[in-house]
Chain A
Amino acid sequence: MTNSNARFSSLICSIFLVVVVASIISSFYVHREVKGMQLNPDRIERILFMRQYEYELLRTTTAYVEAYSATPSDLLSRQYFNNWFSVLWSRANSISEGSVGAAAIEDGFNIEDLQQSLIVIDRLVYESEVLSLENYSTSLDLFKRLTESSHDYQQQRNSVHREISLQRQINFFQYFKAEFVLHMLTLILGIFVALYLARANKKLLGLGVKLEDLVKQRTEKLSYTNIRLINEIEKKQLTEERLLESQSQIERAKKKAEQKANYDSLTTLASKTLFNDRFEQALIRSRKAKTEVALLFLDLDRFKNINDTCGHNTGDQLLKMAAQRINSVLRDGDTAARFGGDEFALLLPDIKSFTSIEHIVDQIMIELRKPYNLSGNSTVVSASIGITLFPKDGEDTETLLRKADRAMYKAKENGRNNVQLFTQAMDDDAHARLFLETALYKAIEKKEFQVYYQAIVNNLNNKVTGAEALIRWPHETLGMIPPSKFIPIAEDMDLILEIGEWVLYTACRDVQRWQTAEGNPITVSVNVSYRQFIKQDFPDLVRKVLQKTGLAAQFLILEITERLLIEENQAVLAQFEELVSMGVELAIDDFGTGFSSLSYLNKFPISILKIDRSFIQDITESKDHAELVKAILSMAFNLNLRVIAEGIETSEQAKFLIDNNCTYCQGYYFGKPAALASFEKDFKKKNRIGSNTQQEVGESKLGTVTHMNLTDNSLIVLPSN
């Protein structure tokens, strides 16, 4: 519907209403007029009343004439007149007293005249028995006059009444006309409105039908879309479900991976990651509870051997069993982890006293020492354990693990199958070692090492027949570092190869120079590490060095330790043979201290024994040591081996050795290790003077070298100037 339409309809409605209201108002006026035309009860009564009066007056007059016109009159007619006359009295009374009469009097009816006339007539008729003619005519005149006045009254009243009613009729007609017009108007407007409404309704109906159609179409479309949407949603749900499924699969895989990451697959003990986690948590708890946490680092002794000899499967089996045994001892809150190989880490949180740790460790040791039944064989395996405590030994996992590891290694060093509590000293050692390690690299790089030489003197003539090349490391901050400190480290790090090569080269070069410069054919003893034989082709190196330096092979003595012999390594033996064939001599250093057996003296091409300084030191005080040295000397003599005594510090010691036919000596008594220059000086002096006493050695001039024990492979070459 448009706006103009709405305005139009409201206009029509208001006009219609106005017309209806006007017609109602006109109806009211019409009604009023009609009501006015209606005679009211009083008026009807008055008209009838006065008409009755007129009738009664006429009947009374007639009765009067009948009764009194002829004389003598009869009684009946007189009675008749009496009655009528009474009736007239009654009427007159009514007119004068009642409201109907009052209205008539108001209209102009002369009541007084009537009453007076009646009184006069009454008196004239009933005063005397016989009515005189004169009285009769007077009364008759009165009756006539009353009749005339009554007629006048009636006539006058009728005309007035007619005028009024005429006027009313005109009014009524006018109003009625107006009302009729209004009603017609109402009808027309009503029809118009009805038509308009019907049309509008039809339009609305049409619109409604259209709307319904539209709604229907829309609904169909929507339901179609809904179905599609539902399908889509279902699809989405399916996809979602699939996603969830795959997600859960991923989660499961993740869990598995976590399990894998958290637990060692072989032993089902905790992995390193989980262990670290738990360790961190334990530390946090411990900080709060002010308790201690113990970290045990456990390593099965000689596990490698088992793995090598019995195979990996057996090794794994052993690890499994060991893990079970460890687990069986642990308390609920404790965690055992495998750190790879045969290394286990145990976490014992909430430790209140050390005894509880001791108890657990003892139990573990006992359990682990029990025999294992491995593929039919009963095997015994021990363990080395290192222990650190939080917070005493460190604040974080890494430190504690490192220290426990160190303590464990210390336990291994201490002969395995024992427990070591971490001490600060261990850490210090380690620190020192670390420091040395780095320093060693630098030293090699910067060639910080020096070679010192210590004289080997022939006791018989006090001449220097040879020199032992000793490595010295003057560190810029630490000062002189003794070889005992850094050589093991160098060995561990395999730096010994480089160092050894350098020492060999330097020693050979120096000695060769002397030989050419001084003409003194002295020998040079160079210490060779076990590793040098294992890790490289040592004879080849020696050959190259000799070639390079030009030193004759017979002037080179290689000092080896007893350890090399114990191993009885065939490859090493071959190297020995090769060296000997080249003309190089082999000496056993520190003879008597190791687990040496005399048998290898025959097996290996050894030509020199160097008696360890520990024996020499005590020979003058301890009879046992003296006898031992005597025995060694005697044996060596019999085996055709030369002997060099080390660490001679006093003349008594020298004398004892001379007495017992020990020709070659080495020690402070004869000369301290010295750098090349000072050694040269010393050496020259000694050999030149060739003094008999040890005190005179310093002045001795380099001279000939006397062979104490002569062999085909002469060791000591006489220096020649």
Chain B
Amino acid sequence: MLYKILFIFTVLSVISCSEQKDMSVAKYKTSIVKLTNFAVPKGEVILKISGNISQKNQADELWLDTAQLQKLPQLVVTTSTLWTKGESEFKGPLMRDVLSAIGNQASLISAVAINEYKIEIPVSDMHTYNVILAMEKDGQLLSLRDKGPLWLVYPWSSNKLLQEDKYYSRSIWQLVGLNLHD
């Protein structure tokens, strides 16, 4: 009897002390978009990418305008955010598609916004979740006054694991520059 009780306590304590593991092991997702040659943008440049990439159209950088980004496959992500009211439909290219298209060879992304907000994002995020480079919200192009023109949106509503501080901080809006490095 005594041994049984002790044994149960031991088991319980071991269980409570053990780390909670990610039960849903995320699958590594690869992009189907191939390397793309981007011409010098004709329209207003909204994103400048530098660093360890193969595709470049401006000196050591790759500049992209809205049209070029819209040519990539578009995905609609319906989710709520901490900063918008209710659920919204965000539309834009998958970030891993963008990285694939630009010939990314790095594992880290340094993203910079107009408001001088900077954040380091691992490339693995893009291959784990359907992170999009949102350009539209509920059918409307994102304006500069409404967190536009580009907003890195995580699908929070469809994945609870994303509802965490680090992913909130990685969701950069008014994105203007990416630097890819290791």
Contacts and interface: CB of A to CB of B under 8 A. Distances in A.
A44 B144 CA distance: 25
B145 A90 contact: yes
A59 interface: yes
Interface in B142-177: 143-147, 163-165, 168-169, 173-174
A41 B165 contact: yes
Contacts of A93: 83, 145-147
Contact of B145 (A24, A42, A89, A97): A89
A187 B82 CA distance: 48
Interface string B134-147: 00000000011111
A695 interface: no
A52 B13 contact: no
A86 B114 contact: yes
B63 to A, nearest CB: 18
Nearest to A83: B114
Contact of A87 (B9, B83, B114): B114
Interface size class of A (residues with CB under 8 A): 20 to 34
B163 A20 contact: no
Interface stretch (A98-106, A261-269, A494-502): A98-106
B83 A98 contact: yes
Contacts of B85: 97-98
B144 A83 contact: yes
A430 interface: no
Contacts of B168: 41, 45
A87 B144 CA distance: 7
Interface residues of B, number: 25
Interface in B9-41: 9, 13
Contact of A98 (B81, B117, B144): B81
A94 B147 contact: yes
A99 B156 CA distance: 14
Contacts of A59: 115-116
Nearest to A99: B82
Contacts of B84: 94, 97-98
B5 interface: yes
Contact of A45 (B82, B114, B147, B173): B82
Tell which of B85, B145, B174 has the most Cβ of chain A within 10 Å. B145
Contacts of A194: none
Interface string B83-96: 11100000000000
- Label chain B's interface by main secondary structure: loop
B169 A45 contact: yes
A18 to B, nearest CB: 12
Contacts, number: 65
A56 interface: yes
Contacts of B114: 83-84, 86-87
Interface in B79-130: 81-85, 114-117
Tell which of A49, A86, A99 has the most Cβ of chain B within 10 Å. A86
A49 B116 CA distance: 13
B5 A17 contact: yes
A44 B168 CA distance: 10
B178 to A, nearest CB: 18
Given A89-B145, A89-B146, A99-B82, A45 B165 contact: yes
Nearest to B143: A86
Interface in A80-139: 83-84, 86-87, 89-90, 93-94, 97-101
A94 B88 CA distance: 14
B174 to A, nearest CB: 6
B59 interface: no
Interface in A8-24: 13, 17, 20, 24
A59 B174 CA distance: 16
A166 interface: no
Nearest to B165: A41
Contacts of A52: 115, 117
Interface string A36-59: 000001101100110010011001
A52 B5 CA distance: 54
A702 to B, nearest CB: 149
A161 to B, nearest CB: 17
A87 B115 contact: yes
A97 B115 contact: no
Contacts of B2: 13, 17
B67 to A, nearest CB: 21
B31 to A, nearest CB: 29
Contact of B174 (A17, A48, A87): A87
Contact of A20 (B9, B82, B115, B117): B9
Contacts of A48: 169
Contacts of B164: 41
A49 B164 CA distance: 15
A16 to B, nearest CB: 9
A24 B143 CA distance: 55
A493 B137 CA distance: 167
Contacts of A49: 83
A78 to B, nearest CB: 14
B163 A101 contact: no
Contacts of A86: 114, 143-145, 174
24 contacts: A20-B9, A41-B164, A42-B82, A45-B168, A45-B169, A48-B169, A56-B115, A59-B115, A83-B114, A83-B144, A84-B114, A86-B144, A86-B145, A87-B174, A89-B145, A89-B146, A90-B146, A93-B145, A97-B85, A98-B82, A98-B84, A98-B85, A100-B82, A101-B83
The 5 A-B pairs of least Cβ separation, nearest first, read A98-B83, A89-B145, A94-B83, A41-B165, A86-B144
Interface of B: 2, 5, 9, 13, 81-85, 114-117, 143-147, 163-165, 168-169, 173-174
Given A24-B13, A83-B114, A90-B173, 5 more contacts: A89-B146, A94-B84, A94-B147, A97-B84, A98-B84
